[in-house]
């Protein structure tokens, strides 16, 4: 929390009536401690006139929307578990000055959260004084829109050609069967002379395009390519066949690419909204649409923050598919996660909340650790199951078997990827996930998952989860059994030195 956000928290703690009349402060930064970093601090804990405990969270300016919602879910679960408070005695307030990214995920969250949760829009001064607050009005959409990870970009040498091509793109999208889609103008306003084509059209669309029973017929019409596993990728090929040659250069887009475009000095603005994206423009602004297209509030190929419930089949199914994408490259986590979701579905767990980070780039993770003790690039996840009867928290972290690595850094790169040049090739084309499991195994680095049942209570148990013959097996955790990956650099200093030297020999600033 930065200085301004801390001032807002302190001001609200002293003036809780701004948020709701009758609130009484219990504590700022209320601690919820637990093993494996599963705890945290509630920004403000209060009590209302009806005796409810009120969890008040202030969304940080640099925090993704769904990450804030995951934290809120976890804090409510830990409050129940560590303090013995039942769900019917808890309510929550999520407070933010900016609701552009929060609008859609919070509206979805209200359907699945276990306790009554209200959003509050606040207006503040530059010194953290809160002038007013009002209730956030949730967005009600009949069928959720979900922007596909498969997107399209067409580049042009001049603005006039780009603008004149917009009707052609719209027509081709409609001819290909799209209804819910939008087209952005992209214009380069940076200083890089390497940018040859500074104008573009960027297409996004909602997925799935068709219902499951319509898939075979749709594939037949598109001319299904067996080499493409994703139906949306096939659709883009179908769209391209309707569009024909256009522009100087074109390519497949995706959320991370769109985010990088924005960071590199491109201006992105919606110029056409079709279908429900046109109908809900008053509810879903252009800024919110762009945030959804970059997956800033939901997740991208390497991270995911989501709160869902098995009782809502469409969002539950989409959650399982998204998890499978984010965990690609980590076979063990992928398998355990899907088995846990199956258990949640069978047990009808009321709320499931996940926060996953999986960059599938162990080389970058290790270089950052050896160079400056940076652990932020290490893959990890948290999964929270909360139900009336019990709270369970699952933690995914990397471990180390404690055996000294015999090879030096350069030889490990060759054994894992073929060569450093091959590694860079795989990184450029987004296929490092095919090599990450092997790269970790060569170093004795393991992907561990721990289950914490009833955290913070006398009944608390901690187990390690493994898969045996397709089934989850719980094993007791001994004090001397676990060795964290953060101990790896200390146990292998020569390996780290040769790894960093090899990287520095071809790339300046890699891992900085």
DSSP character at residue 186:
E
* 106 and 227 both lie in a single domain: no
* 257 and 276 both lie in a single domain: yes
Give whole-number Cα distances, 375 to 40, 252, 488, in Å. Answer: 18, 32, 12
Q: What is the CATH number of the domain that holds 102?
A: 3.40.1350.10
Burial of 429 (0-12, 13-18, 19+ CB in 10 A): exposed
The answer as to whether 422 is a domain residue is yes
The 3-state DSSP class for residue 418 equals coil
The answer as to whether 511 is a domain residue is no
The 3-state DSSP class for residue 1 equals coil
The gap from C-alpha 484 to its chain's centroid, in whole angstroms, comes to: 24
CB 302, CB 357: distance < 8 Å? yes
The answer as to whether 345 is a domain residue is yes
Token code pair at residue 347: 């047990």
Going by C-alpha positions, the residue among 376, 511, 362 that lies closest to residue 441 is 362
The per-residue pLDDT for 429 is 67
Report the distance separating Cα 329 and Cα 432, nearest Å.
Answer: 8
User: DSSP per residue over 384-410, as a string?
Assistant: EEE-SS-EEEEEEEEEE--PPP-S-HH
Going by C-alpha positions, the residue among 493, 511, 485 that lies closest to residue 409 is 493
Which of 262, 293, 324 terminates a domain? The answer is: 293
The CA-to-CA distance between both ends of the chain, in Å, stands at 24
* 268 and 127 both lie in a single domain: no
Our count of domains for the chain comes to 3
Which of 293, 313, 330 terminates a domain? The answer is: 293
Report the distance separating Cα 301 and Cα 255, nearest Å.
Answer: 8
Q: Domain span at residue 201?
A: 151-293
Determine how many CB atoms are found less than 10 A away from the CB of residue 466.
Answer: 15
Cα-Cα-Cα-Cα torsion 490, 492, 494, 497, nearest 10 degrees, comes to: -70
CB 399, CB 330: distance < 8 Å? no
Report the distance separating Cα 45 and Cα 28, nearest Å.
Answer: 6
The answer as to whether 140 is a domain residue is no
* 285 and 320 both lie in a single domain: no
Token code pair at residue 178: 């799209």
* 42 and 90 both lie in a single domain: yes
User: What region does 511 belong to: left with phi over 0, alpha with psi -120 to 50, or beta?
Assistant: left
* 125 and 270 both lie in a single domain: no
Token code pair at residue 210: 């068709």
* 318 and 412 both lie in a single domain: yes
CB 466, CB 477: distance < 8 Å? no
Q: How do the pLDDT tens digits run along the chain, 512 residues long?
A: 678 889 999 999 999 999 999 999 999 999 987 666 667 899 999 999 989 999 999 988 767 677 888 989 999 988 888 888 888 899 999 999 988 778 878 888 888 888 899 999 999 988 889 999 999 987 765 556 778 878 899 999 999 999 999 999 999 998 887 888 999 999 999 888 878 899 999 999 987 664 444 444 545 555 545 444 456 777 788 888 889 899 998 888 888 788 888 888 999 998 999 988 998 887 788 888 888 888 644 444 678 888 888 988 767 887 888 888 889 899 999 999 999 999 999 988 889 999 998 988 999 899 989 988 888 889 999 999 988 778 899 999 999 999 999 889 999 999 999 999 999 888 766 688 889 999 999 999 999 999 999 888 888 889 999 999 999 999 988 655 567 898 999 999 999 999 999 888 775 444 44
Sign of CA dihedral 222, 225, 226, 232: negative
The answer as to whether 397 is a domain residue is yes
The 3-state DSSP class for residue 63 equals coil
Report the distance separating Cα 310 and Cα 305, nearest Å.
Answer: 16
* 309 and 340 both lie in a single domain: yes
Determine how many CB atoms are found less than 10 A away from the CB of residue 20.
Answer: 18
Cα-Cα-Cα-Cα torsion 22, 27, 28, 29, nearest 10 degrees, comes to: -140
The answer as to whether 236 is a domain residue is yes
Which of 268, 293, 318 terminates a domain? The answer is: 293
Cis peptide before 486 (omega within 30 of 0): no
* 162 and 267 both lie in a single domain: yes
Token code pair at residue 162: 């780009």
Token code pair at residue 470: 């397709």
């Amino acid at each position: 929390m930065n200085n301004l956000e801390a001032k807002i928290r302190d001001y609200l703690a002293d003036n809780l009536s701004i948020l709701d009349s009758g609130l009484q402060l219990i504590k700022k930064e209320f601690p919820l401690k637990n093993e494996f970093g599963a705890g945290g601090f509630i920004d403000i804990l209060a009590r209302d006139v009806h005796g409810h405990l009120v969890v008040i969270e202030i969304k940080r300016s640099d925090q993704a929307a769904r990450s804030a919602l995951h934290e809120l879910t976890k804090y409510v679960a830990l409050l129940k578990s560590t303090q013995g408070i039942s769900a019917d005695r808890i309510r929550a307030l999520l407070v933010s000055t900016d609701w552009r990214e929060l609008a859609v995920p919070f509206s979805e969250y209200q359907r699945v959260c276990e306790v009554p949760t209200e959003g509050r829009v606040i207006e503040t001064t530059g010194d953290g004084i809160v002038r007013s607050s009002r209730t956030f009005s949730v967005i009600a959409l009949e069928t959720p829109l979900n922007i596909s990870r498969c997107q399209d970009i067409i580049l042009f040498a001049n603005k006039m050609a780009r603008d004149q091509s917009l009707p052609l793109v719209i027509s081709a999208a409609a001819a290909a069967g799209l209804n819910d889609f939008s087209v952005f103008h992209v214009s380069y306003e940076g200083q890089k002379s390497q940018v040859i084509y500074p104008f573009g059209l960027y297409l996004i669309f909602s997925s799935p395009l068709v219902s499951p029973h319509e898939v075979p017929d749709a594939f037949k019409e598109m001319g299904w390519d067996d080499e493409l596993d994703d139906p949306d990728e096939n659709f883009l090929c179908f769209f391209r066949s309707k569009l024909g040659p256009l522009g100087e250069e074109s390519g497949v887009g995706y959320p991370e690419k769109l985010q990088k475009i924005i960071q590199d000095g491109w201006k992105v603005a919606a110029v056409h909204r079709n279908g429900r994206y046109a109908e809900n423009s008053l509810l879903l602004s252009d800024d919110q649409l762009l945030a959804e297209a970059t997956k800033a509030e939901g997740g991208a190929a390497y991270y995911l923050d989501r709160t869902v419930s098995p009782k809502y089949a469409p969002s539950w199914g989409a959650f399982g598919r998204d998890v499978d994408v984010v965990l690609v490259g980590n076979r063990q986590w992928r398998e355990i996660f899907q088995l846990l979701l199956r258990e949640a579905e069978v047990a009808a767990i009321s709320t499931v909340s996940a926060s996953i980070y999986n960059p599938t780039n162990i080389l970058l993770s290790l270089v950052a650790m050896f160079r400056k003790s940076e652990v932020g690039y290490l893959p990890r996840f948290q999964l929270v199951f909360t139900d009336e009867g019990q709270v369970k928290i699952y933690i995914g972290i990397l471990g180390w078997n404690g055996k000294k690595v015999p090879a030096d850094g350069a030889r490990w790169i060759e054994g894992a990827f073929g060569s450093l040049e091959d590694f860079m090739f795989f990184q450029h084309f987004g296929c490092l996930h095919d090599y990450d499991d092997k790269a970790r195994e060569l170093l004795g680095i393991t992907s561990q998952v721990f289950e914490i049942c009833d955290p913070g209570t006398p009944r608390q148990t901690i187990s390690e989860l493994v898969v045996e013959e397709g089934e989850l097996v719980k094993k007791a955790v001994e004090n001397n059994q676990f060795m964290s990956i953060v101990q790896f650099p200390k146990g292998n200093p020569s390996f780290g030195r040769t790894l960093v030297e090899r990287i520095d020999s071809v790339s300046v600033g890699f891992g900085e």
